[in-house]
Structure 1
Amino acid sequence: MDNSPARGTRDLLPATVAVRDHVLATITAVYHRYGYQRIETPALEDIQRLSGGQGGENEKLIYRVLRRGLDEVVPAGTDLKDLVDLGLRYDLTVPLTRFYGNNQASLPTPFRSFQFGPVWRAERPQKGRYRQFNQCDIDLIGEESVLAEVELIEATTEALAAVGLAGTTVRVSDRRFLAALAGAAGLPEEAWTGLFITLDKLDKVGWDGVRAELAGRGVDGARVDGLQATITGLRGVDPAKLGDTLADTVPGLADEVVADLAQTADALAALAGTREVSWEFDPTLVRGMGYYTGQIFEVAHPATSSSIAGGGRYDQLIGRSLGKDVPACGFSIGFERIVDLIDTAPTGARVAVLFEADVPLTRVTAVARELRADGTSVSPVRRRGKFGAQLGRLTEWGFTAFAHLKADTEGLPERRPLAG
């Protein structure tokens, strides 16, 4: 029998889990200081909600769950929709919108939500990408101004710095800007999604690759040249001049969008003056989810080519559950990615009470209990084998000290450090 985990999933050893627990506790402490409250949602969601056209490419990766009570053999030609009614969540945002729609009467306005939990995507496993992984999200629901964007960015960059990932760069754009850019290029609205998907690949395929893919989508070269000129001119724009530059560069861009981005730019410039974080306007930033309606952002770190956090505004998604639109904005930390970047286990005393076989168990547990009184982690371990070899094993298992308890030991045994 094969006892290995399913492909794309992992067994996690205690030392690995200790690092993950430390990272989560650190992030949680930061988010609590900002007033975000932890909630939980089920792993299973209605398949219609998960496949409602708002999840972008992730909707192709849903793990579908068969209806209860199906026969072992179903008739040939049966539609998938007749076999499936639930699916495993692929992110935490879609479940959050259902949660808010069901519970808004019991929640404050605005509502600051914090979630941590597993999600599932049926994709090809590779380094840093798993079929089951944890997401760590904060969302601000009910705040229509860019206070939401600014607070989410500040809280998330502070959380990342707290776990040891300083020197991050926040990349900012806006779906409304991208729509205006596509419109100014003369593209019909039905072609915008294809344009956004292609632009999202620019860093990987370059402008030649973008031009070739857009040509395959029916976009002529002159329009691509115009897009390239506009985007190139907006790269590295002075944050203090972002609003004016956008207004002058992109015809048809609404004054509201310009004002919102200018406010975000001012706030991020002020934030950069208080800590080691930088930001830039990225005219090619797209984000894959179809539910974004306004500003979008990602966080980059020099230790990896992949983003370590991302999010944006989704003012229309909650309306699917509630029947009316509610302003909402969220930020998700790539928990698995940041854990992979942190190779230092949390420090803390762990003491093994090595007890000989002739020591009464009531004495063993009493000694361990007393040693724990100051908050130290203490575990009784039976003495066996060669003493030096056992001490070596204790060190490998993460213990930092030991106390040797013999039958004739009076009082508390001496606590001795283990070799590092």
Structure 2
Amino acid sequence: MRDFLPADKARRERVLAVIRERYRAHGFDEIETPVVEDYERLHAGIGGDNEKLAFNLLRRGLDADAIRAAADDPAALSDLGLRYDLTVPLARFYASHRSELPAVFRAVQIAPVWRAERPQKGRYRQFVQCDIDIIGDGSSRAEAELITATLDTLDALGLDGATVRINDRRALDWMLASFGFSDDEKPGVLITIDKLDKIGAEGVVAELAERGATASAVDAFGAFLRRPQTLEYRPYGEGQIRKALPEGAPDDVVAHLVALGEAVAAARPGGEAGGVPLVFDPFLVRGMGYYTGTIYEIAHPSVPYSLGGGGRYDGMIGRFLGQEVPAVGFSIGFERLVDLVAAAEPDAAPAVVLVHDRDLPLGELLALKSAVVAGGARVRLEQRPKNLKGLLERAAADGYTSFATVSAGAVADGLEFKPLS
């Protein structure tokens, strides 16, 4: 959890403003939810490993004896918790307000979330997520809209070289079954496959064997990972997808992924599938337990971790509403993204410092400031110090562009502004 100095805060807000503007341009409406949710909702088995990282709030009114008695039962100790993502709150929000929302609801949430992480580069205990979700549309149009809006946002931020890795949980399930893994084994196998980028093919095979997974399935999967592969370039499409999967991949899933790429390509400048920054990755897992279909992540060559991701989670809202509602989302990891975005230009409005003497009457000084503010400028008042140079350097670092010295009787039109750099 971090503090941000004024210059850092201003830069973050400029980047957030671009994200908000692009999301809004694509037809998404911003909502806000509380920072806390019910403990039972946060620990309903749909948040994956993030449930283990939730910050829980102690029930009010528990005395020492009650705390000792409930020491082994977290649910008895806590009735609320800080949200660990924005998807669980959105599902609860939609279930609560469905009658007030359109049949297909396009939501934006930009807000902090909390996880009891081990802090490291790119991982914090409090961080901002920028989510867009479409609820009520079970077609591939929803995924295409989300990916298009996200790529457009990355373009607006000037983040060159980013790609979207895409997979489908249905393809993953089919692939594991084709190798011979049982349904009971699949959750553990997926956890291991998710480490492929870190421990490599041999590490994955070794860990699966250590887990006691079906030996013949481990051997078949290992042979698939070690199969000879040519390095020719294949643009996103049916050829790339089928080449990356074992033979006999389900036609409906392949067709869904191909159609999704074609739709995204049509919306991109040039409109050609070969130029769209999509890559099919058969081993993309996404750790959240609620994904049911298409999944995706943002990759960038400058960092080894993803800059965001998401997917389809058709089963989640039904848990709260009592009936199935299709839903799909895409989240930008703001803290990771903002470090890669070139510094945005400051506001076009002038930002000026008025350096005044100690004995200038307060009313006269504030009237002068108000007049300059009314002219469209951002204004800071500073009493003249002994070291004027240090004051001006600090002001320049804070984003101010010019200054003027103020004496008694000064008027806004008569001020002489000098550049700070």
For residues 234 and 148 of structure 1, the distance between their equivalents in structure 2, rounded to whole angstroms, comes to: 34
For residues 49 and 245 of structure 2, the distance between their equivalents in structure 1, rounded to whole angstroms, comes to: 33
Matched, 1:21 2:21: no
For residues 274 and 330 of structure 1, the distance between their equivalents in structure 2, rounded to whole angstroms, comes to: 26
Deviations 1:302-325 (A, max 9, x none): 221111110000011000111011
Report SS of the residue matched to 1:123.
Answer: coil
Report SS of the residue matched to 2:64.
Answer: coil
Which consecutive unaligned segments of at least 5 residues does structure 2 have?
Answer: none
Q: 1:413 to 1:229 in 2, by over 3 A?
A: farther
For residues 135 and 244 of structure 1, the distance between their equivalents in structure 2, rounded to whole angstroms, comes to: 30
Name the amino acid aligned to 1:339. Answer: V
Deviations 1:54-101 (A, max 9, x none): 111111111111111100343645222211111111000000000000
Deviations 1:216-265 (A, max 9, x none): 122355423433454666997553324982798454x5443222112112
For residues 108 and 114 of structure 1, the distance between their equivalents in structure 2, rounded to whole angstroms, comes to: 14
Matched, 1:304 2:300: no
Task: Say if 2:176 and 2:186, in contact at 8 Å, map to a contact too.
Answer: yes
Aligned to 1:341: 340
Report SS of the residue matched to 1:197.
Answer: helix
Task: Say if 2:86 and 2:113, in contact at 8 Å, map to a contact too.
Answer: yes
Indicate the RMSD between aligned Cα atoms, in angstroms.
2.4
Q: 1:304 to 1:356 in 2, by over 3 A?
A: same
Alignment of 1:89-100 (within 5 A): 89-100=83-94
Q: CA deviation at 1:160?
A: 1.6
Task: Say if 2:165 and 2:298, in contact at 8 Å, map to a contact too.
Answer: yes
For residues 248 and 277 of structure 1, the distance between their equivalents in structure 2, rounded to whole angstroms, comes to: 21
Aligned to 2:95: 101
Q: 1:75 to 1:370 in 2, by over 3 A?
A: closer
Aligned to 1:11: 3
Worse-superposed segment, 205-214 or 371-380: 371-380
For residues 292 and 86 of structure 1, the distance between their equivalents in structure 2, rounded to whole angstroms, comes to: 24
Q: CA deviation at 1:147?
A: 0.7
Task: Say if 1:399 and 1:418, in contact at 8 Å, map to a contact too.
Answer: no
Name the amino acid aligned to 2:256. Answer: D
For residues 241 and 338 of structure 2, the distance between their equivalents in structure 1, rounded to whole angstroms, comes to: 40
Alignment of 1:223-372 (within 5 A): 223-230=217-224, 238-242=235-239, 245=242, 249-251=246-248, 253-271=249-267, 273-274=269-270, 278-342=277-341, 344=343, 346-348=345-347, 349-372=350-373
Task: Say if 1:242 and 1:261, in contact at 8 Å, map to a contact too.
Answer: no
Worse-superposed segment, 198-207 or 65-74: 65-74
Matched, 1:401 2:373: no
Task: Say if 2:95 and 2:320, in contact at 8 Å, map to a contact too.
Answer: yes
Task: Say if 2:181 and 2:214, in contact at 8 Å, map to a contact too.
Answer: no
For residues 62 and 69 of structure 2, the distance between their equivalents in structure 1, rounded to whole angstroms, comes to: 15
For residues 265 and 343 of structure 1, the distance between their equivalents in structure 2, rounded to whole angstroms, comes to: 28
Q: 1:393 to 1:213 in 2, by over 3 A?
A: same
Name the amino acid aligned to 2:51. Answer: E
Deviations 1:171-206 (A, max 9, x none): 000000000011111111011111111111101000
Matched, 1:210 2:207: no
Name the amino acid aligned to 2:355. Answer: L
Report SS of the residue matched to 1:116.
Answer: strand
Give 2:30's match in structure 1, choosing from 32, 35, 38: 38
Q: 1:75 to 1:416 in 2, by over 3 A?
A: closer
Aligned to 1:51: 43
Q: 1:410 to 1:139 in 2, by over 3 A?
A: closer
Q: CA deviation at 1:357?
A: 2.5
Q: 1:280 to 1:271 in 2, by over 3 A?
A: farther
Matched, 1:170 2:171: no
Q: 1:118 to 1:331 in 2, by over 3 A?
A: same
Deviations 1:360-387 (A, max 9, x none): 2232222222222343211222223233
Worse-superposed segment, 375-384 or 198-207: 375-384
Name the amino acid aligned to 2:64. Answer: E
Report SS of the residue matched to 1:134.
Answer: strand
Q: 1:393 to 1:243 in 2, by over 3 A?
A: closer
Matched, 1:387 2:388: yes
Worse-superposed segment, 404-413 or 334-343: 404-413
For residues 363 and 196 of structure 2, the distance between their equivalents in structure 1, rounded to whole angstroms, comes to: 67
Report SS of the residue matched to 1:173.
Answer: strand
Q: CA deviation at 1:119?
A: 0.7
Q: 1:274 to 1:27 in 2, by over 3 A?
A: farther
Name the amino acid aligned to 2:363. Answer: T
Q: 1:393 to 1:104 in 2, by over 3 A?
A: same
Aligned length: 411
Task: Say if 2:146 and 2:329, in contact at 8 Å, map to a contact too.
Answer: yes
Task: Say if 2:372 and 2:412, in contact at 8 Å, map to a contact too.
Answer: no
Alignment of 1:89-168 (within 5 A): 89-168=83-162
Q: TM-score, normalised to structure 2's length?
A: 0.91
Report SS of the residue matched to 2:305.
Answer: coil
Q: 1:415 to 1:220 in 2, by over 3 A?
A: farther
Name the amino acid aligned to 1:397. Answer: D
Worse-superposed segment, 394-403 or 270-279: 270-279
Report SS of the residue matched to 2:264.
Answer: helix
Task: Say if 1:243 and 1:261, in contact at 8 Å, map to a contact too.
Answer: no
Report SS of the residue matched to 2:417.
Answer: strand
For residues 383 and 244 of structure 2, the distance between their equivalents in structure 1, rounded to whole angstroms, comes to: 73
